[in-house]
Amino acid sequence: MSDAPTSISPENCRGCKACLQSSSIGEVIAASGDVTDHNTPAVHRGVWVFAEQHQGKMREVAYELLAAGRGLANECGCDLAAVVLGHNIAHSAAPLIAAGADRVLLVDHPELARYEAETYTDALCQLIVRHKPEILLAGATAVGRAFLGKVAIRANTGLTADCTALSVDPSMCLLHQTRPALGGNIMATIMTPHHRPQMATVRPHVFKANVPDPARAGQTLVEALELAPATFRVILSAATKSSLNIADADIVVAGGRGLKKAENLVLLHRLAEHLGGVVGVSRACVDYGWASAARQVGQTGKTIRPKIYLAFGISGAVQHIAGIRGAETIIAVNSDPHAPIFDVADLGIVGDLTVILPALLEALGAQSVPNSGQP
């Protein structure tokens, strides 16, 4: 970093990108007054997927992004590469190739054994400078959302967060990135016309991973990098599923006044646990003290955008619907054929939840006594 130039004159810019190594790129660019010539689209090529792993285990979203990236790369007629940062990660290459990658760039370094924003940013930016990808996708996970924000600044390019749809204009390999905003009330399509790479984070489960093809040919490249030691120390780490994070959950199993009594919430917890989701409630349940306010869905609760929302005994008041408009699929069970929730449900079942919920649990084989979690 120390040899990064402190000023650049546009006439002398040879596109060496040494300036991108500087962590005060804004200053460098500001000093030169030059904004456009720093990452010429013409020299950038290829689609990259940041394949996030944790302690050697690949995140599912990496495979999903490879499926999406494969499509983009085919349309643009370029290669698809997966980038893995970590330590002792050689085993991760083959599954990534089977999932669609033409190349896997592996950075195996002790400093990358654990995620830290600074080291991850440094490593990925060094690779970007070295290979100049045209498109870079990453999962909108805790890690992806955090350090890609730094990478975008250091690489002097745009980043679109939390995309739910991607397409490409193949003539210029221009990425169309669509994402929700304002609590899912509107969608925006965003482009990065003049800066490269075009960067996007994508919500998990938006794309479906390809069926792995072990016969696919691909190349694994081990990339040697020099990285500074991490500056933070982790003094405690406790694996807890944040069961109260209903806003980010993909599956929300919710109940309302129709549950009739607090004990019935146990059934919801059992279902949620089985499906890997979390329990949400209507305001009525919070008012009765059956559940904590952190679980409330709706206008004065959380706005949620799960893939599947299951509503048991919820009438569907406007204030409740306000929180679930962004749900992909809504399944509602209500004994009242005229309940307004049916107007928004993809599957509306007129019926008694005390019959249907246990039958569903049985069909799923989810009979075990759960730990009922937090209220």
Ligand X SMILES: Cc1cc2nc3c(=O)[nH]c(=O)nc-3n(C[C@H](O)[C@H](O)[C@H](O)COP(=O)(O)OP(=O)(O)OC[C@H]3O[C@@H](n4cnc5c(N)ncnc54)[C@H](O)[C@@H]3O)c2cc1C
# residues near other proteins by CB under 8 A: 98
Distance CA 268, CA 274 (A): 10
> What residues does 107 pair with on adjacent strands?
85
Burial of 29 from C-beta contacts in 10 A (0-12 / 13-18 / 19+): buried
Distance CA 56, CA 54 (A): 5
Residue 315 binds which entry of other proteins, ligand X, none, CB below 5-8 Å type-dependent: ligand X
Q: What are phi and psi of 186, to 5 degrees?
A: -135, 160
Q: Which parts of 55-114 interact with other proteins (CB under 8 A)?
A: none
Q: Does 54 engage in binding with other proteins (CB under 8 A)?
A: yes
The footprint of ligand X (CB under 6 A) covers 256-258, 282-284, 296-301, 313-315, 317, 319-320, 323, 333-336, 339, 352-354
Cβ count near 137 (within 10 Å): 32
Q: How far is the CB of 302 from ligand X (least distance, A)?
A: 8
**Can you tell me which of 167, 264, 322, 373 binds other proteins, judged by CB under 8 A?**
322
Sole residue written with tokens 């081990």 = 222
Tell me the per-residue interface mask from 168 to 187 with other proteins, x by CB under 8 A, - otherwise: --------x---xxxxxxxx
Q: Does 317 engage in binding with other proteins (CB under 8 A)?
A: no
Q: Three-state SS for 108?
A: strand
Q: Which lies closer to ligand X via its Cβ, residue 151 or residue 314?
A: 314
Distance CA 132, CA 197 (A): 7
**Can you tell me which of 9, 15, 16, 35 binds other proteins, judged by CB under 8 A?**
35
Q: How far is the CB of 131 from other proteins (least distance, A)?
A: 20
Q: Which two tokens stand for residue 289?
A: 């003290």
* Cβ neighbours for 347, distance < 8 A, ≥ 6 positions apart: 329, 330, 331, 332
Q: How far is the CB of 153 from other proteins (least distance, A)?
A: 4
Residue 97 binds which entry of ligand X, other proteins, none, CB below 5-8 Å type-dependent: none
Contact 114, 230 (CB under 8 A): yes
Q: Which lies closer to other proteins via its Cβ, residue 218 or residue 255?
A: 255
Q: How far is the CB of 224 from other proteins (least distance, A)?
A: 24
Sole residue written with tokens 């209903």 = 246
Tell me the per-residue interface mask from 245 to 274 with other proteins, x by CB under 8 A, - otherwise: -----xx-----------------------
Q: Does 119 engage in binding with other proteins (CB under 8 A)?
A: no
**Can you tell me which of 5, 149, 212, 373 binds other proteins, judged by CB under 8 A?**
149
**Half-sphere CA count of 239, side-chain side, radius 13 A:** 2
**Half-sphere CA count of 300, side-chain side, radius 13 A:** 8
Q: Which lies closer to other proteins via its Cβ, residue 21 or residue 79?
A: 21
Distance CA 167, CA 183 (A): 23
Q: Does 304 engage in binding with other proteins (CB under 8 A)?
A: no
Tell me the per-residue interface mask from 123 to 142 with other proteins, x by CB under 8 A, - otherwise: ------------------xx
Q: How far is the CB of 341 from other proteins (least distance, A)?
A: 9
Q: Three-state SS for 316?
A: coil
